[in-house]
Amino acid sequence: MSKLYLGAFVCLTATAAVGVDYVNQSRMAGMAAVELGPVAYLGTLKSRFVDTRSAMEAKALRDRLRGLQPRKLLPEPPEGWTRRDYAEADIARLEKRYDIAGDAFVPDALKNDPTMKMLSQMNDNAVADADAREVYVYEKDDALIALRLKRRRDVDGMAGVGLKMVEANLNAMSSAEGFAMVGGVAYRDNFGLFGSERAPDSPRIIIGRLGDELEISLRTRADVSDDDILALLTAIDYDQLNASLETPLAGIGNAVPTVDRETSRAMAEAQTERENDALRERGKAAEAQLMNLATKINDDKSGLTAAGAALGLVTGDAGATVPEGMSAPKAAEAPGQALSLQEATAGPASGGGGFFGSLSKLWGGGTSKPGQASVVAKPSSKADIKISRGAGDGCTQGIGKRCAVGN
């Protein structure tokens, strides 16, 4: 008897589920419940099954492609070409990488600082790892081309907002021209900041992007022909790249029709301008976010005080906590008057040194007197955080913009 009840319950549940689904499908079709016939309803079951299976297959393909090293999605060498890893000799010929050891403007004390050496080594390791994951070198006769596929990832939080502003500013100061449309991707000739890479002996840099996720960059010598460059870009599997995106893009793929060279260049130029406009808008949005944050901080002075305490900054208030081994600082001459950069970054007591001590000497600071604390005074209740594009009061001009904090 219990099996009979169980069977009846299952049948009633299935009937109810089918009934609810039938009514929902009728509404989606804009029909009354009785207007959707059995044949039409069965057709929706089949189409939904196919759609679900296609979505599952697309996700499985996307996960597999994203699990590969990015350069594994670069093409096999076309006929007559060879492919290999990126070597030190190639980097010397095609890139101008910064090396602090060879910078004559950096003092030896800073170059030899253990902390700086460690940071430089960490950076070198990260760059070498990226080269191994992202770059293949293609060769044919005298042509040498380094092709890189980079998967860009958004950085969360305020760091990501700041990076978007930096990217927008750098892009605005960079010079570029449309090169070609290949597979629906707009490639541009990139000439660096203020056209600094236009010199005859500078490497040629061509960049194309698939949304905000993938960036294809090509480096070669200036004497390599456009035909050789296009031979490699055309060999890329754009269907595969598009399938690896979190959200595939319309108009990207191997089936995109080819056009003549001049039309392709003009299309790439137009698409480059649209991408630049979008990047500028993202930069403006990021700046607005920072402005909102500054407003919130200015409205909450206790938040500034708490932030200073969390950083271990010592104030001159009565009852303030002074770290062991340090004397209480003298009060500023005026309420909320901040100490100078030299005082705030002054080195440790006599006999100290290290990385930040070296920086202090470079910036004009010196070692503090024995028993004197290096402190930052409590911010004024009227102080404002200023964020500027670089043209306002208290801000310097140029790439490295610095703005005053406080009145």
Sequential pLDDT tens for the chain (407 residues): 566 656 655 566 656 555 556 555 565 555 555 555 565 655 665 666 666 777 888 888 888 998 899 999 999 999 999 999 999 898 888 888 878 888 888 888 888 889 988 998 898 899 999 999 999 999 998 889 999 999 987 666 666 666 767 766 666 667 778 899 999 999 998 876 655 566 666 788 999 999 889 999 999 988 889 999 999 999 999 999 999 999 999 999 999 988 999 999 999 989 888 887 777 777 778 778 778 877 777 776 555 555 555 545 444 444 444 444 445 444 444 444 444 434 434 444 444 444 444 444 444 444 444 444 444 444 444 444 444 444 445 554 444 444 544 44
CA 169 – CA 167 distance, rounded (Å): 5
Neighbours of 143 (CB within 10 A): 19
List of residues 6+ apart from 385 with CB closer than 8 A:
294, 297, 298, 405
pLDDT of residue 56: 83
The 3-state secondary structure of the chain reads CHHHHHHHHHHHHHHHHHHHHHHHHHHHCCCCCCCCCHHHHHHHHHHHHHHHHHHHHHHHHHHHHHCCCHHHHCCCCCCCCEEECCCHHHHHHHCCCCCHHHCCCCCHHHHCCHHHHHHHHHHHHHHHHHHHHHEEEEEECCEEEEEEEEECCCCCHHHHHHHHHHHHHHHHHEEEEEEEEECCEEEEEEEEECCCCCCCCCCEEEEEEECCCEEEEEEECCCCCHHHHHHHHHHCCHHHHHHCCCCCCCCCCCCCCCCCHHHHHHHHHHHHHHHHHHHHHHHHHHHHHHHHHHHHHHHCHHHHHHHHHHCCCCCCCCCCCCCCCCCCCCCCCCCCCCCCHHHHCCEEECCCCCHHHHHHHHCCCCEECCCCCCCCCCCCCCCCECCCCCCCCCECCCCCCCECECC
pLDDT of residue 22: 53
pLDDT of residue 36: 55
pTM (2 decimals)?
0.59
pLDDT of residue 197: 61
User: Within 13 Å, how many C-alpha atoms sit on residue 160's CB side?
Assistant: 8
Query: Distance between terminal CA atoms of the chain?
Result: 86
pLDDT of residue 200: 66
CA 10 – CA 393 distance, rounded (Å): 75
pLDDT of residue 282: 75
pLDDT of residue 72: 95
